[in-house]
Every structure is written in structure tokens, then in C-alpha cells.
Structure 1
Amino acid sequence: MHRPPTAEAEVAAELAGVRPALGPRFAAELPGARAAVLTRLWRALAHEPLPWIEHREAGREGLALRLADGRRLDGPPADPYATTGSVTEVRLDGVAYDDPARLTTQLAVPHGDGFAAELGDSVASLALSRAGAASGGAGPGGWPAHDWEWEQRVVDGHPYHPNCRSRPGFSVAEQLAYGPEHRPPPVRLTLLPAPVAECLVTGDWPEELRDGRDVLIPVHPWQAAHVLKRSGLPGPAAHPLMSLRTLAVPGGPHVKTALSARLTSSVRDISVGSVASAAVLSAFAETLAARTDGLLHMTRTWGAVTADSPDLAALLRESPAAYAGPGEQVTPVAALATTGLPSRPGWLVEFARLCLGVGLRLLELGVALEAHGQNLLVVLSASGAPLRLVYRDLADIRVSPVRLARHGVPLPELPERIRTDDVRALRRKLFGSLVGGALAGTAGDGETLRAALAAAVRELPRTPDLDALCEQPLPVKALTLMRLSPEVAGDQWTVLPNPLRSHGI
């Protein structure tokens, strides 16, 4: 029976045509990429509420899963907070699998075929990313000279999502041209004109992006070619950041473009509602930052526009680098693992104390940040000490009207989906992203995370939110369940063992 070529084979064939010198490096990186994606998948199988897993049993040899159809899946222990380990194989009824796509196909679960294809893309794209990094230029070194160079250091993508590097719809040439980890030359944005009478514009849209009665909307070239299928005017050259769809204009703003591609869990576009609320949210964020004693800055949204379509929209945001003083650096938390700083004695405790203090303070006021390693940045001193935090991208925060009123904070007109007084929803938004994402990813494993949190929380004021963080299981997004449940809208959640419980804090 003829089998279609795998994503690995397709990437290898394309690579031979566009950058053949990278081919041997790509082939050498494939086993490690399979293990990295399999590690993330095994974490999900071990800890997410997947309906076709009936029983989990941990033993000396590892972890055994009993499937609903009677089959057995065996693998090593699964530290839910580990980013440094590597699962090289798991066994389904005694048959070993080292390829996460093949394993998922053999599991034969609902919606598994599509997910298996995404895992294959993730492996191939991750190997390509690692091959590019290994070819030189993305090592730790000294502090970068530009903010986008920090973003280029994050080679492996999301630390826990099996689709950490899945980029369906992107050719190899496009991945090399647009992926920040490939350190591409500046990307030339496309400017598409739209009649101002047909656009929603909020904030201050600059004159250089207007042309008479038209608004000039910056568009990612991939979006222009594959989704909008339109050509436009040449726009500014900008450097792609971690989110791929946001690019840094040297000396100017960060431009968040619509990019209708599924990169990890969701399609990346910009909703009309996000544009409508951008200016209000930005002003609201500034009032919140003023209540953190200078420990948190919120990047401002200068202007936003949509031509009444999530596929044709853009936001102009302030660069986080604006909040660095002389000799200081602003780095995304996701890039900290490349600096060596987390291994310094006491550094991780100091960083955890700063993050938890700020996050819990805002939560008490009534705002839960989506503070994962991409949205959250840290201001580092010249010696590498964590000084302050910077937060970007307000689209997915949660706001409690009751808590705001309790503290005398005026509630602006915010989208309905952002407002909630559900304590559980507020806590899981912050705890899942900050503790289960930013801090866990920086720590690299459960024991290191446990030690840092235990030392940090002792110096924080006790609040009901802190008590919940210390005493209850830790909520995190069930990333694989979400990909296998296309009929369910919105986030789905699981809980992980609380890293603080064993310390009785």
C-alpha cells in the first residue's frame, strides 16, 4: 500500500531545494525533535483528562496507562513541570514507539488523525529550527543588542505543547524567512489600503499609515499571499518575534498582524472586538500598573484597526524595551533558560518572588494576567538581577468587576468575555500561565520549581488567593485535550500536583 510522504520527508525534500547545506543538520536533529515532542505528548497522556484513558498507575519502572479499549501504554515517570527531560520511547501493548505521530495514529482515538499530522509537522519544524540554531548565531553569548534578538533565542517554542513548532501551511522557505529562531533578515510587511469609512480605528493611527481616504493596514506577507490573496504597497521592514505574527520595527512599534494560521492551539487572527477594546484596555492597564509600586509596566497600544474582518487587522504596540534603564535589558521570560541566570544561587527565588508578588497583587485588585513566558518579560540589571516586570498583549486577561469595585478601581467598558467574578476562572488564568507556564518553564523541573516557590511564598502577604495557590492542585490548560476536542469551544483545563503541598506552607 502506498503511504503518503511524512512531514519529515517533505521538509527534507524542500530543504534540498532552498537550503541544501542545512540538510545534514536537519537529519541529525530529527531524533531529538521526535523525543522532544514525544516528551510533551507523554506529559499530556499522563496528566490530562483524556476520556479514552481509564486508569493511570505509577510504579518503580515508570507510568502505566490503561486505555478504554483494554490496551496498555507504558512509559517513564512524567514530571509535569520538566522541560529538560527526554522521553525517547513509549510502549503500546509492548510495541515501542519513538515517533509521536505514529503513536497517535496507532492510538486511533477520535480526531487523532488530524492531531497526528500536526505532531508530524511539529517534529519536522522543530528539527528545522534546531538545525538552523545549530548552524550558528543563536547561542547564549552576551546580552543581545536588540529586543528581537532575545526572541530569536527561543528555538523550541512552547515548553509543554506537543505542537510546540507546528506551522501547517508554511513552506520550508517561509519558515526560514519568517521564523524568529532562524534569524531571518527583516520581513517586509505589506500595506493593504482599506477605505476609512469601512474600518474601525481606535487609538492614534499614524499619518504615515494613511493615504487620503484610505487606512493602510500592515499585513504579514504570509497572510497577504495565502489568506487575503492580495498584493499591496511595500511596508516597513520588521523583525519577527516569538508569536510569529508580531514584528518589531527598528526604532518603532511592535506590529501585531493578523495571521490566520493554527500554530499551537488556536487560529491566529485579530477579532473586531479586540480592536474595539484596544485603546480602553491599554488605558486601563496603565492605571493598574500604577498600583504596583513600579514593579510592573504594561506596554501601551498606540493604535488598532480592522477592515471589519479578523483576517485584515493590526495593532501597533509599544516596545517593551522602552522600560529598560541604562545598562538594563528586557527579555521575555521564555528566553531566560538561554541565559544561565536561573541556575545562579538564589536567582530563581528572587524571580519567583517578584512574579508572584506582582501577579497576586493584581489578582487581589481584580485582574488575572495571562502571564506565560511570551506575554511576560523581565527587566534585568546589568548583572542579571530581576528588577521589574513588563506585560504585553492584554487580549486574554480576565477582570473581576466585584474585586475592582472593592478596591475603588473604575471598571471601563470591556468585552464581555474578559469580565468574570468566578474566582476559579480568575485563579486558573493567573496560576496556570504564571506558575504552570512562566515559572515552571524557567525552573525546568518540578523539584527546582518546588524549592523556588517554597522560599518565595514565605515572604509574600497571606491572601485567600495565595492560600489557594499553596493548598490546591495547580490548574493548567489541557493543551492536548483541546486539540482533540474541536467540537468544544474555548479553553479546557486539567490540574497538576501542587509543587508546594509537600512543604506544608
Structure 2
Amino acid sequence: MDRVDLKPPSDEAGRRADAYAAAPLLNCLLREVAEPLPPAGEHRVFRLPGTGRLLRVRAGRRPAGPEVHAAGAWHRLDHAELVKLVAEELRRHTGRPCDDLPAEMLDSRETVAALLAARARATPPADPYLRSEQSLITGHPCHPAPKARGGGPSAAWLPYAPEAHARFPLALLGVREDQVAEEGDTSALDALGTAPPGYRLLPAHPWQLDLAAHALAPAFADGRLVGLGATGFDTWPTAAIRTVYEPRRDLFLKFSLDVRITNDIRRLWRHDLLALTRADTAVQGAFRAMGPPAAWLPDRGYRTAAFAFEELAVLVRGGLRDALLPGATALLAAGLAEGFEGSPLAAAKDPGAWWEAYLRQVVPPVLTAFAGHGVVLEAHLQNTLVAVDRAGLPVQALFRDAEGVKLLPDVSRAAGWERLVYCLVVNNLTEIAGALAEHHPGFDPWPAARRELARNDLPEIPALLASPTLPGKTNLLLRWTGADGAAARYLPVPNPLAGR
């Protein structure tokens, strides 16, 4: 493999950025490729089968301190050296090269460094909901490059980064009326400004407008598009980056963004937009049948320009006020897993009571939607909001993002169930359980999770509780092999529910 330079990071800021960037990459490597060996003290030891090297890390939900064995001793790896090690291992393991992913891994680390520096100068939002949405420095805990921003200079993306506590106005465009394409209820867009006669208002994400400037230049030149300045108010980017929230209007807007974030270029793709109404209608029907407290934030409709259908698409999502229980505060589940100032998970005095309340709110709606309505919610951490009461106990779950919803029989029941288990159990419950266990050493969250799942009479539940493994998504191998980000592939990971 490439030579490993055996030197530590040079400063504390660099070490922090390395640690944040290394943890999810190590999680991927250890889940998807490495072969575990007997542990040694506080370290977990692994053999990398492609290169035959030995790797050890400090154990934990976020593995740290990677070291490689060479010349009879263990040597610490910084993030750049870890990327070299992973790249050589994957070349040997898969038998194929990949130039893009190592660059994304390095970009992800540089992004983390820029975010940490920006956060040191920024003021977090006072609203705990917005604080939870803007807390994800690690991001996806099992992705090799969760913070990559397309390799561009930080000046291009930092003004729009939720992790930097950004807030910004939206650009406003006018689209000539004969060029407007829309479906559903988009009336909220017309209240954001004033379009000239013969035009319809279309808000745009400023970063996307910069990215698509060359492609849009002819439309500005011939009058199909006109610039109308910017909104007179700021919006707050949420964890999804391309989705923003305007608290006074209680309005979520989701935009296209021609940047690869985790596995996909984050456009609002035409095929997804055309399927939006059907998916959202099915989910709304499921939640109406369930009744409160579970809630769905509906994707009401989209508007775009026919000549730039995907580039300029904006989706209107329902807000929080009509969905939240009185007196409850919504928080992003991913923020609870990662941690933020004022998190009720970190402050929970009785982890068992808090966890059982979380399970009661999150698990039944997902299973009921599947069992009774053939709806597969993508109930991972970024699509799940948990509302807490004044004591910090979960009292409600709110779900979002019709783009990720699957419907039976569009997918087979087996494939839908596998996706449900991955999103709900592996991605969501495992991370929340791990965060609780970190705050309360010795706490075992899995008997309660098993009881909550067993209350449902779905025919798949007994096998889930008995299986020694669960489906773990292979984000590292997906990206290395250049697979479509939507083509999820899974490998077995240990099932903490089994034998409890």
C-alpha cells in the first residue's frame, strides 16, 4: 500500500477534525470489510483481509484513535493516513480502483475543520428545535464521507451550512407563466414576494442558483426567468442542508442541490416529484387512520420551471404548528443521537423511562403504517422528529419526507420490511440506544425495545426478535463501487434484540 507517514496531527483543531471525520469512516470499515480479532484491553483489534494489516481502535459507538501495526509496534493514523489505508484495502478487497471516494473522504474532513472553526464564531439558535437540526458535526455515523460538500471551496457552501448555524434569505425568481410546472398546493410560495405581471414567483436556494448559473443563463437572457432579489427574511437550513425552515411562517421548503451529499446528488429528481402526490397521499391516509399523537409532515406540492425542471424545483412541506401537541417541543432524532446543548436525552435522570417513552412514540406508527397500509416509512434519524414535554420526556413522533417512502406492492413485502428494519432499528433505535448508554454506563436498552416490538402482531416480528443479525447498509462499498445511492445493499450485522 502507499507509505503510511507515522506522525500525529499537528494541533488540537486538526486532531478534533480528524476524530470527527475518522469515526464514521471507521464504522464503515469495521462493519463492511474488517475481520474482528479478540479485543485487547480498551481496544478492538481487526484484520484487514485485503492487505493483511492489523488495525486497532478504541472501542465505542464512535471508534477513535486508529492505529496500524507495523515493524512490531502500533502506530497512530491521522485521517489522511487512514484514508490511504482504506483505499488500498478496498482496491485489494474489491479488485477495482476508485478515485472519487478517497477525495470525498478528504473533503469531508476539511469540511468538518471548516465547520468547527465557524461554530466557534457563531451563535447557536435559541430555539431548541433549530439547535437540534443544526447539531450534526459527525452526521451519518456509518458513511465514509458524511460531510463532503462536493469538493468546492468553503466560501461557496459555508454561508448555507446548518452545522455552522447559518441563516440566510432565499433568492426570488420570476418564471414566465407559460413555463411554470407545478403540482399540488404551492400557494405558500406566492406569499414570499411579488412577481411581475405574466410571471409566477419561484424561490431558489442561493447555493443552487450559483451552481446552476451557467445552465440558467439563456433563460435569464430571453426573459423566461427574471431575478427579483431576495426575501426580506432569513430561513434556517435544517440537517438535510437543502431543506430550510422559516419559523414565523412555519414553512419548510426543500430545494434541489447539485452537490453529492452522502450517497446521492441531491436534486429533486423528476421521477420522484411525479410520484410525490401518490406517496404523500398514501402516508397521510395511514396517519389519519392512526390518529394522534403520531404525525406526518406532508409534502404538499412542488413548483419549478419546465425548462429547468429538476434544477429549480422547490417542494412545499407542511409545518410543525398544526402537527405538534400543545406545549410539546419538536427535536430532530439525529440531533438527540449526536448531542446538542439542552438535549433532553443527555439530561434524562431515568434512562429507562425516557427510552420507553421514546419507543412508545416512534415504533408503533412505523409498524402500523406498514402492517395496515403498505407504507414503508424511511424512519431514519434525519426523517424522525421527537416531541418532548416540559419535563423532556418524548410524547410524540413526527415523520417526514415522502421522497423516501416506499409503497407495497411497488416493492415486495420482504424488500419493504428489510428497508423498514434498517431505517427504524439499525439507523434509528441503535443510535439513540447507544447515546443513552454512553450517558448511563451499564444501562441496557434492548429488553425494552424487544418488548415494544413484540406488542405488534406483524408476522415478521418473531423472526426479527430471533434473528442473530440485522441488515446493515454498506455505504462504503456502495460508494467505492459507484452504485446508485438509491440501490441500497445490506450485509448482516449483529442483532442486539436477539436473546433478550
* TM-score greater than 0.5 by the shorter chain: yes
Query: Which secondary structure state, in structure 2, belongs to the residue aligned with residue 322 of structure 1?
Result: coil
2:104 paired with 1:118: yes
CA 1:463–1:302 in 2, change beyond 3 Å: closer, same or farther?
closer
Provide the C-alpha distance between the structure 1 equivalents of 2:247 and 2:357, rounded to a whole number of angstroms: 32
CA drift of 1:278 comes to 2.6
Counterpart for residue 148 of structure 2:
166
Counterpart for residue 157 of structure 1:
139
Taking the TM superposition and a 5 Å limit, the aligned residue runs for 1:58-457 are 58-61=37-40, 62-68=44-50, 70-76=51-57, 82=61, 85-91=62-68, 93=70, 96-106=75-85, 107-108=87-88, 109=91, 110-135=96-121, 137-138=123-124, 144-145=126-127, 147-184=129-166, 186-206=167-187, 207-208=190-191, 211-229=196-214, 230=216, 232-236=227-231, 237-252=234-249, 253-308=251-306, 309-336=309-336, 337-338=339-340, 339-341=343-345, 343-345=348-350, 346=352, 347-365=354-372, 366-401=374-409, 419-423=410-414, 425-444=415-434, 451-457=444-450
Provide the C-alpha distance between the structure 2 equivalents of 1:162 and 1:436, rounded to a whole number of angstroms: 17
Given that 1:332 and 1:373 are in contact with CA atoms closer than 8 Å, whether structure 2 keeps it comes out as yes
Give deviations 1:188-242, integer Å, cap 9, x for gaps. Answer: 2123333343343101222447654433322211111122345722243311111
Structure 1: gaps spanning 5 or more residues:
1-8, 10-25, 402-418
Given that 1:100 and 1:116 are in contact with CA atoms closer than 8 Å, whether structure 2 keeps it comes out as no
Query: Which secondary structure state, in structure 1, belongs to the residue aligned with residue 358 of structure 2?
Result: helix
CA drift of 1:351 comes to 0.7
Given that 1:360 and 1:466 are in contact with CA atoms closer than 8 Å, whether structure 2 keeps it comes out as no
Opposite residue 421 of structure 1, the aligned amino acid is: S
Query: Which secondary structure state, in structure 1, belongs to the residue aligned with residue 476 of structure 2?
Result: helix
Counterpart for residue 463 of structure 1:
458
Structure 2: gaps spanning 5 or more residues:
1-8, 221-226
Give deviations 1:127-164, integer Å, cap 9, x for gaps. Answer: 2223333446349xxxx437433312333322332312
Give deviations 1:301-354, integer Å, cap 9, x for gaps. Answer: 233023343222110111234322432101111122331425431212321232
Provide the C-alpha distance between the structure 1 equivalents of 2:419 and 2:328, rounded to a whole number of angstroms: 30
CA drift of 1:450 comes to 8.8
CA drift of 1:447 comes to 6.4
**Which of 474, 481, 498 is residue 478 of structure 1 equivalent to?**
474
CA drift of 1:111 comes to 4.0
Provide the C-alpha distance between the structure 2 equivalents of 1:217 and 1:468, rounded to a whole number of angstroms: 49
Given that 1:190 and 1:235 are in contact with CA atoms closer than 8 Å, whether structure 2 keeps it comes out as yes
CA 1:45–1:103 in 2, change beyond 3 Å: closer, same or farther?
same
2:31 paired with 1:47: yes
Provide the C-alpha distance between the structure 1 equivalents of 2:494 and 2:449, rounded to a whole number of angstroms: 18
Provide the C-alpha distance between the structure 1 equivalents of 2:405 and 2:333, rounded to a whole number of angstroms: 18
User: What is the percent sequence identity of the aligned residues?
Assistant: 25
CA 1:300–1:488 in 2, change beyond 3 Å: closer, same or farther?
closer
Query: Which secondary structure state, in structure 2, belongs to the residue aligned with residue 458 of structure 1?
Result: helix
TM-score when normalising by structure 1: 0.80
Opposite residue 332 of structure 2, the aligned amino acid is: P
Opposite residue 455 of structure 1, the aligned amino acid is: A
Provide the C-alpha distance between the structure 2 equivalents of 1:211 and 1:27, rounded to a whole number of angstroms: 55
CA drift of 1:97 comes to 4.8
TM-score when normalising by structure 2: 0.81
CA drift of 1:364 comes to 1.1
CA drift of 1:34 comes to 1.1
Opposite residue 502 of structure 1, the aligned amino acid is: G
Provide the C-alpha distance between the structure 2 equivalents of 1:208 and 1:353, rounded to a whole number of angstroms: 38
Counterpart for residue 411 of structure 1:
none
CA drift of 1:375 comes to 0.8
Given that 1:71 and 1:93 are in contact with CA atoms closer than 8 Å, whether structure 2 keeps it comes out as no
Provide the C-alpha distance between the structure 2 equivalents of 1:203 and 1:386, rounded to a whole number of angstroms: 32
Given that 1:433 and 1:476 are in contact with CA atoms closer than 8 Å, whether structure 2 keeps it comes out as no
Counterpart for residue 412 of structure 1:
none
Given that 1:398 and 1:429 are in contact with CA atoms closer than 8 Å, whether structure 2 keeps it comes out as no
Given that 2:204 and 2:312 are in contact with CA atoms closer than 8 Å, whether structure 1 keeps it comes out as yes
Provide the C-alpha distance between the structure 2 equivalents of 1:116 and 1:214, rounded to a whole number of angstroms: 45
Provide the C-alpha distance between the structure 1 equivalents of 2:435 and 2:186, rounded to a whole number of angstroms: 44
CA 1:318–1:381 in 2, change beyond 3 Å: closer, same or farther?
same
Provide the C-alpha distance between the structure 2 equivalents of 1:340 and 1:250, rounded to a whole number of angstroms: 22
Query: Which secondary structure state, in structure 1, belongs to the residue aligned with residue 212 of structure 2?
Result: helix
CA drift of 1:382 comes to 1.3
Opposite residue 191 of structure 1, the aligned amino acid is: L
CA drift of 1:90 comes to 2.7
Runs of 4+ in structure 1 displaced over 6 angstroms? 446-450
CA 1:446–1:240 in 2, change beyond 3 Å: closer, same or farther?
closer
